[in-house]
Homo-oligomer: A and B are copies of this chain.
Amino acid sequence: MRPFTVFERLSKAFHDYPSLSRILVVSTISGGGLMAYSEVNGSYSNNGVETRTRKKKVVLLGTGWAAASFLKSLNNSSYEVQVISPRNYFAFTPLLPSVTCGTVEARSVVEPIRNIGRKNVEMSFLEAECFKIDPESKKVFCRSKQGLDSNGKKAFDVDYDYLVIATGAQSNTFNIPGVEENCHFLKEVEDAQRIRRTVIDSFEKASLPGLNEEERKRMLHFVVVGGGPTGVEFAAELHDFVNDDLVKLYPKSKNLVQITLLEAADHILTMFDKRITKFAEEKFSRDGIDLKLGSMVVNVNDKDISAKTKGGEVSTIPYGMIVWSTGIGTRPVIKEFMKQIGQGNRRALATDEWLRVEGCDNIYALGDCATINQRKVMEDIADIFKKADKDNSGTMTVKNFQQVMGDICDRYPQVDLYLKSKGMRGITDLLKQAQAENGSNKSTELNIEELKSALCHVDSQVKYRHLGQFAPLGGEQTAAQFPGDWVSIGHSSQWLWYSVYASKQVSWRTRVLVVSDWMRRFIFGRDSSRI
């Protein structure tokens, strides 16, 4: 849900690695990210006959970012793709906080999944939820969201040749009692729509007769749990919605509304630069958003939320609505599958650098449901050297190395990223620099120690290239942070935010809709009809 990861994911998928014959994906994990790519051709490109007679069936679970990237990148007509997901659309999730308050309409951020993907790849979709993966029989077991009334059949199974798991994650409640039952989450479009209705409901309820001031205040007390970018953006959106639009229609509620943000850490937006954190905290304080830092939620019931300070003191606050936004957890189907394959104690599916789920054949996982155990260059340095040193002379030329460079970059994407991050045009620069540092002569021959020295830093490279991150703070102000310690806060960043988000839409339709929603909001404000 980190706004800018979108930009990164897509731009990386399409610009940095335009090789479309690969299953190319970018996956993010909380607190950082990884990018890797994999090639499914390998295993059966040597079986030309079968390829021609029967298409291999790729079953893709999910219609989120990872699944959409996969579909957009797969350009090989020898596969047929069967997508299975309970949602028949892709949603531009970074705009969900905007949907909660009607700044953008729900329908403007969704695109039917059948419209995503390339024309030459046969693709079909099943609106169903996978509840079990059986790697033995190469089947997934699914059930339709809606009861199929005929014959009472709901569950069915689907065979696969290759399985791509991109089911994403779910909100993490940390098993805190009452959270599941009483809080709103902000993962799906339906969540955002429900939040919007609940906000309006709260104002309507608080306008009814027969209530005392305390009850009205409780109904209009909106609590946000989690000071990450999503929670902060939602709090800011809600503040704008209330102050720009709702107080005009519900003037009596003006002095009763309160927004509180609870954060367990000492600051909000901790993954951002300190200047942004400081600006955001000061702005929220000016806006009257009550920031309760160092507050760990311990219990929620239908009217009150209890939080413990670091000193151990528990305070209980009455609330009207809670939005819970504290990060992601594992979906049950993935948990179950991890148990089956001996990864039961993990948080996400472990894959190798080809995104193959470890311990499974022909199963790939990507996105929020997976983490990549990337192979290290330095561990394989002897093999790499051997491959380049074709004549087994104990030394290799730069030219030798260039010849195997493509394979190495495929397998160890950190090499390529490292070169880019250092502003080098190719491996030659790296080898030359290493030779220069080691005081070697200008010979084009390297031994294994020189190669080790040249590549010693590449494994430290975070493969997920951080292009930047936004945190909208309300009042047409956004904080933005880009690599190289560049921080921008204010109205200009808001316009940058508008441009980036408009440009990153998956279709022209959604782009036009999102931009026209923004224009509509500028002119007419947000709608508060309870539909």
Contacts and interface: CB of A to CB of B under 8 A. Distances in A.
A409 interface: no
Contact of A153 (B207, B210, B509): B210
A250 B115 CA distance: 11
Contact of A529 (B110, B156, B524): B110
A58 B529 CA distance: 23
A90 to B, nearest CB: 9
A454 B190 CA distance: 65
Nearest to A193: B531
Nearest to A201: B146
Contacts of A150: 211, 215, 218, 303
Question: Most B CB atoms within 10 A — which of A110, A302, A513, A529?
Answer: A529
Given A146-B201, A149-B302, A530 B87 contact: yes
A504 to B, nearest CB: 18
A205 B128 CA distance: 9
Contacts of A513: 520
B126 A207 contact: yes
A158 interface: yes
A529 B88 contact: yes
Contacts of A88: 200, 204, 528-530
Given A125-B207, A127-B207, A148-B211, 17 more contacts: A88-B200, A102-B107, A110-B529, A111-B529, A112-B249, A112-B527, A126-B209, A127-B208, A128-B208, A144-B204, A146-B201, A146-B204, A156-B210, A190-B531, A193-B531, A509-B527, A513-B520
A249 B531 contact: no
Contacts of A105: 105, 107
Nearest to A192: B531
A279 interface: no
Question: Most B CB atoms within 10 A — which of A205, A218, A516, A520?
Answer: A205
A207 B205 CA distance: 42
Contact of A127 (B114, B204, B508): B204
A190 B205 CA distance: 20
> What is the total number of copies of this protein in its complex?
2
A218 B193 CA distance: 31
B208 A249 contact: no
A508 B114 CA distance: 35
Contacts of A107: 102, 105, 527, 529, 531
Contacts of A59: none
A207 B114 CA distance: 13
A107 B115 CA distance: 24
A207 B512 CA distance: 30
The secondary-structure label for the interface of chain A is: mixed
Contacts of A303: 149-150
Contact of A148 (B146, B156, B190, B208): B208
Interface string A13-57: 000000000000000000000000000000000000000000000
Contacts of A520: 509, 512-513
A189 interface: yes
A92 to B, nearest CB: 12
A523 B153 CA distance: 39
A105 B106 CA distance: 11
A144 B529 contact: no
23 contacts: A87-B530, A88-B200, A89-B529, A89-B530, A102-B107, A105-B105, A106-B531, A107-B531, A114-B250, A127-B530, A144-B205, A146-B204, A148-B208, A150-B215, A150-B218, A156-B208, A156-B209, A156-B210, A158-B209, A189-B531, A190-B531, A509-B527, A512-B524
A509 B521 CA distance: 10
Interface string A482-493: 000000000000
Contacts of A144: 204-205, 208
A205 B112 CA distance: 16
Contacts of A87: 530
Contacts of A512: 520, 523-524
Nearest to A157: B209
A531 B110 contact: yes
Interface string A184-212: 00000110010000001100110111110
A281 B254 CA distance: 56
A529 B128 contact: no
A520 B520 CA distance: 14
A523 B283 CA distance: 41
Contact of A528 (B112, B148, B209, B249): B112
